[in-house]
Amino acid sequence: MSLKVRKAVFPAAGLGTRFLPATKAQPKEMLPLVDKPLIQYGVEEAVRSGIRQIVIVTGRGKTAIEDHFDVSFELEHLLESRNRHDLLAAVRQISDMIEVAYVRQREALGLGHAVLRAREIVGEEPFAVVLSDDVIAAEPPALRQLLDVWERFHAPVLALMEVPAESIPNYGIVAAEPVEYDGTRDRLYRILDLVEKPPRDQAPSNLAIIGRYVLTPEIFPAIEAAGPGALGEIQLTDGLRRLLDGSPLYGYRFRGTRYDAGDKLGFLIATVEFALRREDLGSAFRAYLKTLKL
Ligand code: UTP
């Protein structure tokens, strides 16, 4: 197996029920934070982490994603004829930087099933998985932080974050023991067990799995062997659990701020914070917010 991670898989075939009706005809990964769809933040993170081969698992609304990363001759021609080179650069920039392949998940049978759909394109290489509704503001990018762990240990690694007790039932939670890494013992963990959405009193910790992974092709047979789990869905967590018998599985508590943009409140928080950080919008938006009698 080659040791270089060159591909990132973006599952984007979920039903996005929490955002209906906005997600009736387009995937939630196309919802914009300020002026960029969620999936583009994820793709830009992959590019900044050194990965340019992007594999998108699509379901309904496939065309919106394909069109987004494709060249739009009419639009580019129009912008050129109007001398809008700033906008032209904005629409061209990302498609110029990546190679995209698409695979179809016909039915939303779970995240594990979506990852399994990428098996052929991934082949016998390690690969990343990015869930673009987890938007992470971090420097270096969260995926880069995980790749650094991969490059040191050559074992699969998941992003972890501490969550408040009341949120535990919304996440995959790990039982883990700290490992010395970069002079600390509070970032890297060896994972001993994983549970999908446990009740609060049965959770082994408050360390939740966040949507960034570096995996090896061993995950594919493991997902297959795990079969459907909670709610009849084929869960990635159940596949990961099966890997625990073999080589080590690590979790890395990344440095950065994560926004749960797959949830309405999280999406609103991300929108406000990203808008405030923008050079072109931040000060006007801040001035407006200050006028609100809250
Ligand atoms: P989520 O559980 O957050 O997404 O899946 P969802 O099911 O679309 O959203 P809700 O809960 O109904 O609102 C995490 C990621 O996995 C993808 C989703 O697109 C999202 O990026 N996914 C999930 C798939 O690609 N296929 C699936 O069958 C399930």
List per-block mean pLDDT (blocks of 10 residues) for the chain, which spans 294 residues. 93 93 91 95 96 94 86 83 86 84 94 97 97 97 98 97 96 96 95 94 96 97 89 91 91 98 96 96 96 90
Tokens 């639009």 — which residue?
Answer: 75
What's the gap in Å between 27 CA and the centre of ligand 1? 10
Q: What DSSP state is assigned to residue 262?
A: T
Report the distance separating Cα 237 and Cα 158, nearest Å: 11
Q: Are 248 and 149 in contact (CB under 8 A)?
A: no
Got the DSSP string for 172-197? EEEEEEEEEETTEEEEEEEEEEEEES
Task: List the residue whose alpha carbon is closest to atom 22 of ligand 1.
Answer: 14
Nearest residue to 289 (alpha-carbon basis) of 36, 258, 32, 275: 275
Instruction: Map out the domains of the chain as residue ranges.
Output: 7-286
What's the gap in Å between 16 CA and the centre of ligand 1? 6
pTM for the whole structure: 0.95
Task: List the residue whose alpha carbon is closest to atom 5 of ligand 1.
Answer: 14
The per-residue pLDDT for 145 is 98
The per-residue pLDDT for 247 is 82
The per-residue pLDDT for 17 is 92
- The fold adopted by the segment(s) 7-286 is Spore Coat Polysaccharide Biosynthesis Protein SpsA; Chain A (3.90.550)
- ∠109-113-116 over CA atoms, to 5°? 160
Tell me which residues have their CB closer than 6 angstroms to ligand 1.
11-18, 57, 105, 108-111, 113-114, 131, 133, 262
The per-residue pLDDT for 175 is 97
The per-residue pLDDT for 111 is 96
The number of the ligand 1 atom at minimal distance from the alpha carbon of 131 is 21
The per-residue pLDDT for 227 is 84
